[in-house]
Structure formats: structure tokens, C-alpha cells
């Protein structure tokens, strides 16, 4: 294994940027955005340098480590602040810093009218640093620091405009639901330490070979809980839609391209655990399958362009999780879909931001329409992303999504059949709702508000969109040409035999394309051949109503967890005052009460005191006499 | 600096200087108090530098005969545990003085009296952690109540007298039980080799398990009240609500630590068998404290009471770590004591500034402070992040150590306690949202941001929190030998990884 | 003569004094009754001294006399002060300490 002293700069550069920007305050308003972008770009440069170094080494020597210092050491619990860059993390490093830098550039223009732009860039830098720590940490505890760090950055960025109460609530909701996932990660680390005696990736990998299946299953399930929280998977998915309260570049970077994919990273990174714990692996697949349909269904009913894209993100990550749950054969495809998704979804979010920029921050697609003529560049870049997510050849999604569908079909037994059908169905629904977004936004007649004056966005905004659009077109081909990514990642995963093909790959592709075409056609008939109302119609089927309410996810959480929690809190507060403190105060009152009874004896009359003394003395003498008699 | 007695005398010298100053010159009084506490802090740090980390015996030992006819000595000595706590106390003291520069105004008595009380309290804070004579410990343990009683009752707000009396009587009650146990120990020592109050000698006493259990309870209840552990906690919210922020910092940050310190130093050392007997009960109480304190904190409408309840939750973690009897749990608990001092200090001090500016401690009265007073809001936010144990903050290291250490021996307790981290997110983010976010509500538009003095006071606290979050080794290196020593004395070893079970 | 007779007399005097203290209202009379009780005790002491044939009882009697003298000084002063302020020497009027 190779060591390097420059890994730390990947994290340190954006971290220093964030610190300077936060501490300098208003003084940095003039140059803060430039510093932030430079820091992110230089981190990208370090990443590229590391990649070139890595390419020059043999497979075994590719992973690079760096030990910074001894972080925590108590008894046998020893954790170094150590970094590790291998074939998997370099993919993430380049995605995070690359897309991150593009989004920094985009934000310079997008946020130019915001009073607090410097603070925004500080948070973005903080996020980049935390996310890099997440993918570079060499143990679960180091990963945990980055894991919660991105949670913090996400909280700060969702609540960037927290003067609006709804946005502040959205950020809090995201943090709390993420914390539930984080709890899962805590459990995983605790179980790992208690059973395997270590928390580092290498240590657990080595120990997992002779560990009990029960322990590994427990760790795997807890890691899955962590992944569901961070990656907005069922049942911890409800925060992602509300997270769209953040500025659009944030949605593109954190809630589409990078942070929400951390769950996929976690599962892929822990492949040695899941490979040895079939139950946990099955649960991963189930969670992925449920979420990919769940998100897609929500996507069909959303009129808010960002929430529609968020639902799509949830669904696409469902594909990745499902892919990762298929075991060694699926990890590489999950990562491939993650990378291509990073390009096309970030591009589409930036496109949505561009549309909002031109439409007075309107997010309701029913008030868009006919924007193709006014925003040609946005239309083209968004359209390329659209073709990519649909999986139309030769765009990026075709290579990554089809592979997941194919692998799902190939899984053994009924599982393969079910998963194959679910992924196909998801592809069809995706085609429907993405076409709906496309049609409502860019074609048809204009349904704008009177004061809307749509215009194309400036260079700093469309340039990143264009670059991401190129990625949406080319990345799939490049990554899968000659199995480039699969071979690149292969040394990290367990070797596997080629599984028997249930269906011919070409047939799967054909089926997928047919389903996609069907979805597009339905959307076309429904939204292009008919007039679209500028106000969402109310006389819709009960299914639409439920889908609009995010399949009742919030209603369920509120009824089951929030209300019970609030009731419990209120009861406990009352109990504390009445019962526990009541007992304490009761002892005090009892002392005072007995005092007030006894003081009645004190009449103040000397003669009665004298009589009492006399009686007392007589009794005493009598008693002594009785005893000594 | 190598004499604990001298260290204890330093604040008293400051007291004498303040007493000699004219009453009218309040600024000079404050400056003298600040200078004294800074000198004490510097002296303690100098002492810590000279501390031998790997030596588990008591260091800087001193012994003077005090009441020879009862075998009572004025004897002092510190190990890693005491050193860390003394360090925390003396570093917090100047911060409290500087942060609460105007706290003494509006009290029943003069500014002079306020600082005399603070400095006397500082002397006792050093003494209570350094005492190695049980009687001396008891005297300081009880005497510490007096300055705090006057600080709450004389300089607090709201129902200050009632809160002060409740605090005093509740604590005295616990002290009384402890006194009973101490006398019993003394009497027994007479029958087994001569009357003594020396801790090391008393720990060698032979006694039946019943005796040990009864005497253990005498000590433990006193410490559980002090700590405070559910259900003996109800004095704390009242006291914290009424006390000035600075007093609250000393009360929760330092005085309450005497409880958890006592559990390690006295309960475990004097009654190892009884400690094992009661461990299941204490662990349950700790877990209840963690969850219960968190729920109560969520339900509070008053900022100071909220912080007090978060502390009850945190003390649950500390007690759980102590009685988990693993090196991670024990070191984590000790580190937690240190970290909790600073994270609570940050919360109380910034919260106190918010309250004194707004003139109300009701959370709902605040709103949108992030836009009006960014530095104050950020300080509060960071303090809150430390309280919810965000990784990168010092409290994360200690909380995680406690959890992981407990998990290896008592997985169910640790698992339930882990739910506390979700509740922690709620009890911090709810006040953060209400007070700092949202639109600026009427009455908050004109609030002023932190001034230079306040920035200087809060900066070291936050710096310590962040620095120890990333690099806790300096403290852990001091704590680990002491913890390992206690665990070994109790006859425990860390559970081995169970992976061989396959 | 049988020394026990002196003891009977002492008991009688003590009882008269005790009853007087409890039933009389006038402070001077109460005071006199207290003196009567003290002297009854003195008589008993002296008698016991005689019976036992040593001086211990007589010594104690002297002590009692000294105490009684002091008590008279303080007690009379109090009574005079009360009388001055209240124009009455009834002990029932001076019940301000109750409750």
C-alpha cells in the first residue's frame, strides 16, 4: 500500500476556505465567492493529480493512505485520523470536487443578488470538505465525522434562507431524520467494535472472514439504516422533498449529485460485510426497490419542478441501492449509475435553477410553458439530461441504468424476476414524469404570471450546465467502454462468477426502451395534446391526491412519531412537575405542615407552660420510679 | 507551581485584596478578580505540565495534621482524574468572571461580595477534587454549598430565594447521608488498626456486604443528588433558572462534577463490591436520565431550564460510562466531565447574553437573531452543536467512547441510550430554530451583537471545544492511566471481541 | 423527732408553690410561689444532709440560695418593666410570644 502526504490537502483546502469565509465576516463579501471557488477548484486539481499518480501504478499499489495523527486511543479502541484513497474513493473525489467546482462557478452568478453570498460559499466549502472526509476516511469512525459533517452542511444550506419559517423547519427536519440514520451508523460501529474489535475498513475486512454471520448481519442492517437516512431511502425518505427549500445549486450538489449518494458509497465500501450477510443484502435490495417505485410515483404528481426532480433523485438512488444490494456483480454498476446520475441530475437541477432565475423564482411548472424559445441553452442542456435519465442510447443513463436492470433480471430465482419487473416499471414511470417536466416547462403555450420576463441565464450559469450536459452525453459511454469502470473497481470487490443470463441483454434493452417509449407517449398524450391548467385541478383521482401528498409519508410520520413524541413530552413535563418534583416539594410541605400543627401548643401563657413542665416532670419521675421500683 | 495548598491559597489572596478595596470602585474589584482567576488558571496549567502522565499514584501529595485527636489530616494529592477536573474548574473561572462582567449588579449585596464568593468557591473547587482525606472532602463538599447558596439567592433572578433554599436543603440532605456513612467508616477503622479518615486506609477496610451496601448508598445518594441523576434531579432546573449564567456554569460545570467525581473516587474505591451490586440499578437510572432529560429538555419553554435538562441527559451518559466498567466507558466518562463543563459553559454564557439583552428567558420571545446578531447566534449554534455531540466537537469523542464502552458489556443499555442522540438533535435544533431562525420578531430588532469582552470570553471556550474534538489525545493521555487503574482495581478487564463465536 | 416529717413539710410547701404558679395570675404572687418551691427544695436538701450526716446537701442549699437571689433580681426587674409598660402585673396579659 502506498502512502502519500498530499491527501490531506484535498480536505484541508476547502476547510480552510470555509473557516476564512466564516471568520472574516462581511470583510470578505467582495472576494469570498472567488476564494471559495478557488479552494474547490484546487481540491479538484489535487484529485486529478492523485488520479494520474494512481493510473501509473499497478492494481495492488493503487490505494493510497495517509495517517495524520492518533485521534482516539483508549484501551483497545484505537482510531487514527487516517485517510485512504482507493479506486472507489477517487471516483467520488473527482465527482465531488468536479461537480462541486462547477456548481461554485454557477453560484457566483446565481447568488449574485444575495446579501449573504459569502456565507453561502463558506457553507459550500464546508460541505466539500466534509464530503471528502466521508469518502476518504479509513475507518467507520472517520467516515462518521464526514457523515455528520455533510449533515451539518446540508442543514445549513437547506436553511440558508431560514428567515422563512417553512425553510427553517425543512432544515431541522432534514437534520433530525438524518440523525436517525446516523444512529444506525453509531450502532454499526459499536457492534463492529464489540464483535470484531476494530472499526477500520481494513481491520473489519480482515476480521469479517471469520466473524459470525449474525454479527455481520446486524452490522449490515445498521449500515443500511444509516444509508436510508442519508440517501433518502424508504422509510427515512421524507426529508428530501422539503430539502428543496435550499438554493437550487445546493439541491444540485448535495441533494442530487453527492451527499444523497453517500448511502451507496457506504454500502459499496462495506461490500465485505454485505457479501457475508445475505439477509442484510436482501434488505438492501428491498429498500432500493421500494424507494425506486415510491420516488417515481411521487414524481408523477409534483408541480414544483424542484420537488419533481427531488422525487426523481430518490428513485434513481433507489436504483443504485438496488444495484449495490445485488452483490459483487452490482457494485460497479451502482457506482456507474451514481456517476452518470451525478452529471445528468446536477445538470437538470442547474437547468431548473436557470429557469427559476428567468421566471422570478417561480417553481410551479404549471406556470411555465413555451420556455424553449426564450432559454435555448437551458432547454438543450436540460434536454440532454432528460435523454440521459430516460436511458436513451447513447446517452449516459442508457449504459448505467440498463446494466442495473439487466443485473436485476439475472439475479437468481423469483427475486430476479420481481426485481427485473420493478426496475423496468420504474424506468417507465421515470419516462412519464420526466417527459411531463419537459413538456410542462419547455413546450406548449405560455402560462406565465404577468410580471414574468423569461430570459437566458448569463455565461457563468450556462457554462457549468453545458459541461454537465456533455457529461450526460458522454460519461456513460466512456465509463462502460471496454468495461473501464468495472475493471477499475474490480480489485476492491470479491470475485464473482458470471451469472446465468435470464434474458438476452439486447432483449432487456429493447424492453426497457419500449417501456420508456410508452411512458413518454402517455405523458405526451396527457400534457401535450391537452391544455394544461395553470392551477392544479382539484377533481383528480384519489391516487393523484395521495401522490401529491408524497404518498402520505409526512402524514404517517406526523401521526405516528411526531404526535406520540409530543404527547409523551407533554406528559413527562407534567409528571416531572407533579410527581417527582411534587414528591420533593411534598416532603417540604409536610415538614412545614407538622410545624404549624405543633406550634398550636405554644399558647404564650406562662401558667400553661408551667403546668406542662409540672406534668412533664411528674411523668418523668413516675417513669423513673416505675423502672427502678 | 507544585503545591496544591498554595494553589488553593491563591484565590484566597485575591479575596483578601478585594476585601481591602473601597466598595465604590467596582471596576477595580472585577479586574482584581479576573487577574486572580487568570493567575490560578496559569498556575494550574503549569502544574499540569509537571504532572507525570503514566504514574497512577497520587502526585503533589501534601499532608498536614489538622485535628489530631480524631486523626483528621489536611491531606491533598491528585491523579489524572482530579487533575483534569481541577484544570477544567480553574480554566472556567476566569471565563466566567469575564463573561459575567455585569452579573453582580442588581444583586442583594455589593459587587465585592459577589467576587469574594466566586473566589472562595474557586478555592473549594480545587480542594474538593484534591482532598485525599474523607473528612476534609466532606467539609469542602458541604461548605461549597454556602457560596453557591448566596450566589443564587443574592444575585439570581426570579424565584431566587426559593430556588436557593431548595438547592441547599436538597444538597444538605444528601450530605447528611454521606456524613452518616463517613462516621461509620471512621468507627470501623478504629476497630481495624486505628481511627483514620485517610482515603487509602479506609479503602482497605473489611466489612460485610450488607454494611458495604448501606454505606455505599449513603455516599451514592449524596453524589446522585449532586450529579444529578434521575429521580433526584428536580433541584437543578430551578437553581439553573434562577442563578446568573456565570453561577450556573460553576454549578453545572463544576459543582455537579463533584457528584460524578465522587462516584469514581469514593464509591468505587471504598465500596467495590457494593458498586458491583448496585451497577444494574445505576445503569438503568442513567439510561432513564439520558432519555428523560432529553424529553424534558424538548418540552421546556424557558431557555435556562432547557439547558439544565440537557445536562441531566449528559450526566446520565457520564454515570453510565463510569459504571460500565470498561476502559472506554470510564475514560469517556471522565473526558465527558471535562467537555461537558465547556459545552455547558458556552450554552449558558451565550444563552445568558441573549437573555440579558432581550430581558426574557422564554424561548418564544426570541426570533430571527441570526440576522440581527450573527456572532451571538453563531456562538449559540456552535455551543448547541457541541451539546448534541456533533463529530468534530469535543463532546462527540467522549459521548461515543461512553456508548462504545458501554456497548461492549451492556449492549441493551447502550442501544437505548443511543436514541438520546436523536433527541439531542431535537432539543438543540428546536430552540435554535425558534430563537435564531425565522423572521425577526418584534422586540428583537435592536438587540446588539457581542462586544469585544464577550467575544474574548467565548472564543477560548469554542476553541477548546473544537480543538479537543479533533485532537483529544492530550487529555486522554492523562485520563487513560487513571481510568485503567480504577478498572483494574475493581477487577474488571475489557470484554474481548466476540468474533470467535462462529 | 423523725427527719421524715421535714420531708413531708417540704413536699407540702413544694405543692403549694407549684399549684400557686399554675393557678395564680398575679406575677408577684407567681414569683413568690416559685420562691416557695425553691425553699421547699432547700428544706429537702438540708434534711437529706442531716439524714446522711454529710454536708453535700447544705452546700447545694447555699447554691440554690444564690441562684434564687439572682433570679429575684432579674425576675423582679422584668416584672417591674412589664408593669410599667402595661399597667398590670397579670402574667396572662404578657402572652405576646404565642404563635
- Rounded mean pLDDT, A446-465: 83
CB contact under 8 A, C22 and A599: no
CB contact under 8 A, A74 and B502: no
Q: State pLDDT tens for residues C68-97.
A: 999 999 999 988 988 888 888 787 777 776
- Cα A32 to Cα A121: distance, rounded to the nearest angstrom: 7
Closest alpha carbon within chain A to C18:
A614
Show the 3-state SS of B380-439.
HHHHHHHHCCCECEHHHHHHHHHHHHHHHHCHHHHHHHHHHHHHHHHHHHHHHHHHHCCC
CB contact under 8 A, A607 and C18: no
- Cα A106 to Cα B9: distance, rounded to the nearest angstrom: 63
- Cα A22 to Cα A575: distance, rounded to the nearest angstrom: 43
Residues 130 through 189 of chain B touching chain A, CB cutoff 8 Å? 166, 169-170
Q: State pLDDT tens for residues A136-146.
A: 999 999 999 99
CB contact under 8 A, A215 and B501: yes
**Do strands A64-74 and B59-67 pair parallel, antiparallel, or not at all (unpaired)?**
unpaired
A near B: at least 3 beta-carbon pairs less than 8 Å apart: yes
Question: What is the pLDDT at residue B37?
Answer: 93
Q: Are A369 and A446 in contact (CB under 8 A)?
A: yes
CB contact under 8 A, A614 and C22: yes
Question: What is the pLDDT at residue B407?
Answer: 92
Does the pLDDT at position A500 exceed 80? no
Q: Within 10 Å of residue B273's Cβ, how many Cβ atoms?
A: 15
Q: Are B267 and B227 in contact (CB under 8 A)?
A: no
Q: State pLDDT tens for residues C2-32.
A: 888 999 999 999 999 999 988 888 888 988 9
- DSSP assignment, residue A500? P
Instruction: Identify the band that residue C40 occupies on the pLDDT scale cut at 50, 70 and 90.
Output: very high
C near B: at least 3 beta-carbon pairs less than 8 Å apart: no
> What is the torsion angle, in degrees rounded to the nearest 10, for the CA atoms of residue A199, residue A202, residue A205 and residue A207?
-70
Closest alpha carbon within chain C to A595:
C99
A403 to A490, A509, A510, B457, C68: CA distances (angstroms): 16, 9, 13, 59, 116
CB contact under 8 A, A604 and C91: no
CB proximity list for A299: less than 8 A, separation 6 or greater:
A308, A311, A312, A315, A429, A430, A433, A434
Q: State pLDDT tens for residues B472-501.
A: 999 999 999 989 988 888 888 888 887 644
Residues 320 through 349 of chain B touching chain A, CB cutoff 8 Å? 326-328, 331-332
Q: State pLDDT tens for residues A382-406.
A: 999 999 998 888 888 888 888 888 8
- Cα A186 to Cα A174: distance, rounded to the nearest angstrom: 18
CB contact under 8 A, B473 and A212: no
**DSSP letters of B159-213?**
SHHHHHHHHHHHHHHHHHHHHHHHHHHHHHHHHTTS---BHHHHTT----HHHHH
A577 burial (CB, 10 Å; 0-12 / 13-18 / 19+) is middle
> Of A374-388, A483-497, B7-21, C29-43, which range is least confident?
A483-497
Give residue for cell 411531463.
A436
- DSSP assignment, residue A67? E
Share of chain A above pLDDT 70, in %: 100
Q: Predicted ipTM?
A: 0.91
CB contact under 8 A, A605 and C25: no
Q: How far is CA C20 from the centre of its chain?
A: 10
**Which residues does chain B have within 8 Å of residue A165's beta carbon, measured at their own beta carbons?**
437-439
Low-confidence ranges of chain B (pLDDT < 70): 1-2, 499-502
B203 to B212, B261, B264: CA distances (angstroms): 11, 16, 13
* Of B5, B37, B228, B206, the residue nearest B116 (C-alpha): B37
Closest CB from B299, B327, B419 relative to A569: B299
- Rounded mean pLDDT, A516-521: 90
Does the pLDDT at position A1 exceed 80? no
Q: B168-179 as b/e, with b when 16 or more CB fall inside 10 Å?
A: bbbbebbbebbb
How are the residues of chain B apportioned to helix, strand and coil, as percentages rounded to the nearest 5?
75, 5, 20
Question: What is the pLDDT at residue C1?
Answer: 66
Q: State pLDDT tens for residues B376-407.
A: 999 999 999 999 999 989 999 999 999 999 99
CB contact under 8 A, B437 and A186: no
CB proximity list for A151: less than 8 A, separation 6 or greater:
A174, A175, A178, A179, A182, A230
User: Nearest 5 degrees, angle CA A217-CA A221-CA A225?
Assistant: 170
Q: Within 10 Å of residue B464's Cβ, how many Cβ atoms?
A: 23
Q: Is B211 in CB contact (< 8 Å) with chain A?
A: no
- Backbone torsion region of residue B60, taken as left when φ is above 0, otherwise alpha when ψ lies between -120 and 50, otherwise beta: left
Task: Name subunits touching C (3+ CB pairs < 8 A).
Answer: A
* Of A334, A304, A303, A300, the residue nearest A316 (C-alpha): A334
On whether the pTM is more than 0.90, the answer is no
Give residue for cell 463492529.
A192
**Which residues does chain B have within 8 Å of residue A182's beta carbon, measured at their own beta carbons?**
421
Q: Are A446 and A366 in contact (CB under 8 A)?
A: no
Q: State pLDDT tens for residues A204-233.
A: 888 888 888 888 999 999 999 999 999 989
CB proximity list for B19: less than 8 A, separation 6 or greater:
B112, B116
Q: State pLDDT tens for residues A536-569.
A: 777 777 777 887 787 778 888 888 888 888 888 8
Q: Is C21 in CB contact (< 8 Å) with chain A?
A: yes
Question: What is the pLDDT at residue C97?
Answer: 62
Q: State pLDDT tens for residues A234-245.
A: 888 888 888 888
Task: Name subunits touching A (3+ CB pairs < 8 A).
Answer: B, C
Q: Which residues pair with B198 in a beta bridge?
A: B133
Closest CB from A605, A610, A614 relative to C95: A605
Does the pLDDT at position A601 exceed 50? yes
Does the pLDDT at position C46 exceed 90? yes
CB proximity list for B337: less than 8 A, separation 6 or greater:
B84, B85, B88, B257, B260, B261, B318
Average pLDDT score over chain A: 88
**Do strands A64-74 and A2-3 pair parallel, antiparallel, or not at all (unpaired)?**
parallel
Q: How far is CA B277 from the centre of its chain?
A: 26
Q: State pLDDT tens for residues B250-268.
A: 999 899 999 999 999 999 9
- Cα B382 to Cα B465: distance, rounded to the nearest angstrom: 9
- Rounded mean pLDDT, C44-56: 91
A1 burial (CB, 10 Å; 0-12 / 13-18 / 19+) is exposed
C28 to A578, C25, C70, C91: CA distances (angstroms): 57, 9, 16, 9
CB contact under 8 A, A75 and B497: no
Three cell numbers written together for A127: 460541505
Cβ contacts below 8 Å, chain A against chain C, sum to 34
A619 burial (CB, 10 Å; 0-12 / 13-18 / 19+) is exposed
CB contact under 8 A, C98 and A602: yes
Q: Which residues pair with A84 in a beta bridge?
A: A65
Show the 3-state SS of A148-208.
HHHHHHHHHHHHHHCCCHHHHHHHHHHHHHHHHHHHHHHHHHHHHHHHHCCCEHHHHHHHH
Q: Is B450 in CB contact (< 8 Å) with chain A?
A: no
Amino acid at each position: 500500500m502506498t502512502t502519500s502526504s498530499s491527501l490531506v490537502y484535498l480536505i484541508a483546502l476547502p476547510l480552510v476556505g470555509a473557516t476564512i469565509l466564516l471568520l472574516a465576516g462581511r470583510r470578505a463579501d467582495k472576494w469570498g465567492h472567488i476564494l471559495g471557488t478557488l479552494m474547490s477548484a484546487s481540491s479538484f486539481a489535487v484529485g486529478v493529480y492523485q488520479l494520474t499518480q494512481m493510473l501509473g501504478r499497478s492494481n495492488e499499489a493503487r490505494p493510497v493512505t495517509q495517517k495524520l495523527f492518533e485521534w482516539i486511543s483508549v484501551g483497545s479502541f484505537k482510531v487514527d485520523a487516517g485517510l485512504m484513497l482507493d479506486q472507489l474513493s477517487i471516483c467520488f473525489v473527482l465527482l465531488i470536487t468536479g461537480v462541486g467546482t462547477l456548481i461554485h462557478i454557477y453560484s457566483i452568478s446565481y447568488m449574485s443578488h444575495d446579501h449573504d453570498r459569502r456565507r453561502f460559499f463558506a457553507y459550500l466549502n464546508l460541505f466539500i470538505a466534509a464530503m471528502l472526509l466521508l469518502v476518504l476516511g479509513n475507518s467507520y469512525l472517520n467516515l462518521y465525522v464526514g457523515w455528520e459533517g455533510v449533515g451539518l452542511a446540508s442543514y445549513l444550506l437547506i436553511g440558508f434562507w431560514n428567515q422563512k419559517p417553512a425553510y427553517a423547519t425543512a432544515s431541522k427536519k432534514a437534520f433530525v431524520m438524518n440523525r436517525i440514520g446516523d444512529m444506525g451508523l453509531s450502532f454499526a460501529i459499536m457492534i463492529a467494535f464489540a464483535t470484531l474489535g476494530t472499526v477500520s475498513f481494513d481491520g473489519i475486512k480482515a476480521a469479517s472472514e471469520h466473524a459470525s454471520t449474525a454479527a455481520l448481519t446486524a452490522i449490515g442492517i445498521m449500515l443500511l439504516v444509516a444509508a436510508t437516512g442519508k440517501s433518502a431511502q424508504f422509510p427515512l425518505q421524507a426529508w428530501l422533498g422539503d430539502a428543496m427549500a435550499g438554493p437550487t445549486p445546493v439541491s444540485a450538489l448535495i441533494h442530487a449529485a453527492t451527499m444523497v449518494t453517500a448511502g451507496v458509497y457506504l454500502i459499496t465500501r462495506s461490500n465485505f460485510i454485505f457479501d457475508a450477510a445475505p439477509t442484510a443484502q436482501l434488505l438492501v435490495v428491498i429498500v432500493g426497490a421500494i424507494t425506486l417505485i415510491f420516488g417515481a410515483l411521487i414524481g408523477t404528481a409534483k408541480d414544483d419542478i424542484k420537488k419533481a426532480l427531488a422525487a426523481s433523485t430518490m428513485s434513481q438512488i433507489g436504483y443504485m441501492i438496488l444495484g449495490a444490494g445485488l452483490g459483487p456483480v452490482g457494485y460497479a454498476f451502482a457506482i456507474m449509475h451514481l456517476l452518470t446520475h451525478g452529471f445528468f441530475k446536477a445538470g437538470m437541477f442547474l437547468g431548473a435553477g436557470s429557469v427559476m432565475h428567468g421566471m422570478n423564482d417561480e417553481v410551479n411548472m404549471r406556470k411555465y410553458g413555451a420556455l424553449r424559445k426564450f432559454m435555448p441553452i437551458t432547454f438543450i442542456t436540460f434536454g440532454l439530461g432528460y435523454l440521459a435519465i430516460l436511458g436513451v442510447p447513447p446517452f449516459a443513463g442508457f449504459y448505467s441504468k440498463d446494466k442495473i436492470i439487466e443485473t436485476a433480471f439475472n439475479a437468481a430465482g423469483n427475486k430476479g424476476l420481481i426485481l427485473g419487473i420493478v426496475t423496468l416499471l420504474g424506468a417507465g414511470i421515470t419516462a412519464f414524469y420526466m417527459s411531463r417536466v419537459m413538456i410542462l416547462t419547455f413546450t406548449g403555450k405560455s402560462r406565465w404570471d404577468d410580471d414574468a420576463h423569461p430570459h437566458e441565464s448569463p455565461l457563468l450559469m450556462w457554462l457549468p450546465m453545458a459541461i454537465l450536459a456533455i457529461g450526460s452525453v458522454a460519461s456513460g459511454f466512456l465509463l462502460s467502454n471496454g468495461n473501464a469502470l468495472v475493471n477499475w473497481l474490480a480489485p476492491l470487490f470479491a470475485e464473482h462468477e458470471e451469472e446465468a443470463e435470464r434474458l438476452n441483454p439486447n432483449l432487456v434493452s429493447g424492453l426497457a426502451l419500449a417501456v420508456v417509449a410508452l411512458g413518454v407517449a402517455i405523458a405526451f398524450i396527457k400534457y401535450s395534446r391537452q391544455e394544461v391548467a395553470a392551477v392544479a385541478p382539484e377533481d383528480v383521482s384519489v391516487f393523484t391526491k395521495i401522490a401529491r401528498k408524497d404518498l402520505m409519508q409526512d402524514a404517517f410520520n406526523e401521526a405516528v412519531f411526531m404526535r406520540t413524541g409530543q404527547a409523551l413530552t407533554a406528559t413527562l413535563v407534567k409528571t416531572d412537575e407533579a410527581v417527582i418534583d411534587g414528591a420533593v416539594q411534598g416532603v417540604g410541605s409536610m415538614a412545614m405542615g407538622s410545624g404549624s400543627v405543633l406550634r398550636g401548643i405554644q399558647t404564650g401563657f406562662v401558667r400553661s407552660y408551667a403546668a406542662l413542665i409540672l406534668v412533664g416532670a411528674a411523668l418523668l419521675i413516675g417513669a423513673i420510679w416505675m423502672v427502678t421500683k | 507551581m507544585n503545591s496544591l495548598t498554595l494553589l488553593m491559597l491563591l484565590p484566597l489572596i485575591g479575596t483578601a485584596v478585594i476585601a481591602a478595596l473601597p466598595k465604590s470602585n467596582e471596576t477595580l474589584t472585577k479586574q482584581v478578580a479576573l487577574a486572580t482567576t487568570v493567575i490560578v488558571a496559569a498556575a494550574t496549567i503549569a502544574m499540569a505540565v509537571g504532572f507525570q502522565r503514566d504514574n497512577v499514584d497520587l502526585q503533589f501529595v501534601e499532608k498536614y495534621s489538622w485535628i489530631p485527636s480524631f486523626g483528621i489530616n489536611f491531606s491533598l494529592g491528585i491523579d489524572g482524574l482530579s487533575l483534569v477536573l481541577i484544570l477544567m474548574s480553574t480554566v472556567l473561572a476566569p471565563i466566567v468572571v469575564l463573561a459575567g462582567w455585569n452579573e453582580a449588579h442588581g444583586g442583594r449585596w455589593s459587587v465585592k461580595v459577589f467576587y469574594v464568593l466566586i473566589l472562595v468557591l474557586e478555592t473549594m473547587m480545587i480542594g474538593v477534587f484534591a482532598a485525599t482525606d474523607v473528612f476534609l472532602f466532606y467539609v469542602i463538599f458541604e461548605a461549597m454549598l454556602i457560596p453557591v447558596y448566596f450566589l443564587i439567592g443574592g444575585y439570581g433572578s426570579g424565584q431566587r430565594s426559593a430556588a436557593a433554599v431548595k438547592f441547599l436543603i436538597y444538597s444538605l440532605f444528601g450530605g447528611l447521608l454521606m456524613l452518616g456513612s463517613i462516621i461509620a467508616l471512621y468507627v470501623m477503622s478504629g476497630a481495624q488498626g486505628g481511627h483514620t479518615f485517610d482515603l487509602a486506609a479506609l479503602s482497605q477496610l473489611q466489612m460485610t456486604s450488607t454494611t458495604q451496601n448501606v454505606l455505599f448508598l449513603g455516599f451514592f445518594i449524596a453524589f446522585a443528588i449532586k450529579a444529578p441523576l434521575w429521580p433526584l434531579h428536580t433541584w437543578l432546573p430551578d437553581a439553573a433558572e434562577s442563578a446568573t449564567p456565570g453561577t450556573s456554569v460553576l454549578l453545572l460545570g463544576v459543582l455537579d462534577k463533584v457528584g460524578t467525581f465522587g462516584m469514581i473516587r469514593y464509591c468505587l474505591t471504598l465500596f467495590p463490591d457494593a458498586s458491583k451490586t448496585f451497577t444494574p440499578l445505576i445503569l438503568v437510572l442513567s439510561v432513564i436520565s439520558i432519555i428523560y432529560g432529553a424529553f424534558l429538555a424538548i418540552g421546556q419553554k424557558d431557555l435556562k431550564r432547557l439547558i439544565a435538562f440537557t445536562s441531566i441527559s449528559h450526566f446520565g451518559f457520564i454515570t453510565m460510562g463510569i459504571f460500565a466498567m470498561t476502559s472506554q466507558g470510564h475514560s469517556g466518562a471522565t473526558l465527558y466531565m471535562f467537555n461537558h463543563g465547556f459545552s455547558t459553559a458556552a450554552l449558558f454564557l451565550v444563552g445568558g447574553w441573549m437573555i440579558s439583552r432581550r430581558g426574557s428567558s422564554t424561548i418564544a420571545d426570541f426570533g430571527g437573531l441570526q440576522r440581527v446578531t450573527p456572532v451571538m447566534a453563531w456562538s449559540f449554534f456552535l455551543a448547541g452543536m457541541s451539546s448534541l455531540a456533533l463529530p468534530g466537537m469535543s463532546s462527540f469523542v467522549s459521548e461515543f467512547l461512553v456508548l462504545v464502552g458501554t456497548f461492549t458489556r451492556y449492549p441493551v443499555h447502550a442501544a437505548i441510550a443511543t436514541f438520546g442522540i436523536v433527541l439531542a438533535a431535537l432539543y438543540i435544533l428546536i430552540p435554535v430554530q425558534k430563537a435564531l431562525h425565522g423572521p425577526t420578531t418584534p422586540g428583537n430588532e435592536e438587540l446588539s451583537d457581542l462586544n469585544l469582552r464577550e467575544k474574548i470570553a467565548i472564543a477560548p471556550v469554542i476553541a477548546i471545544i473544537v480543538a479537543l474534538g479533533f485532537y483529544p489525545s492530550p487529555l486522554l493521555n492523562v485520563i487513560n492511566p487513571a481510568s485503567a487503574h480504577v478498572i483494574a482495581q475493581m477487577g474488571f478487564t475489557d470484554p474481548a471481541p466476540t468474533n470467535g463465536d462462529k | 423527732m423523725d427527719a421524715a416529717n421535714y420531708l413531708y413539710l417540704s413536699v407540702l410547701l413544694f405543692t403549694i408553690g407549684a399549684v400557686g404558679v399554675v393557678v395564680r395570675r398575679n406575677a408577684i404572687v407567681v414569683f413568690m410561689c416559685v420562691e416557695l418551691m425553691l425553699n421547699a427544695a432547700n428544706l429537702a436538701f438540708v434534711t437529706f444532709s442531716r439524714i446522711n450526716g454529710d454536708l453535700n446537701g447544705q452546700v447545694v442549699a447555699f447554691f440554690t440560695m444564690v441562684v434564687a437571689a439572682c433570679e429575684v433580681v432579674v425576675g423582679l426587674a422584668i416584672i417591674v418593666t412589664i408593669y410599667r409598660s402595661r399597667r398590670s402585673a397579670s402574667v396572662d396579659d404578657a402572652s405576646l410570644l404565642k404563635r
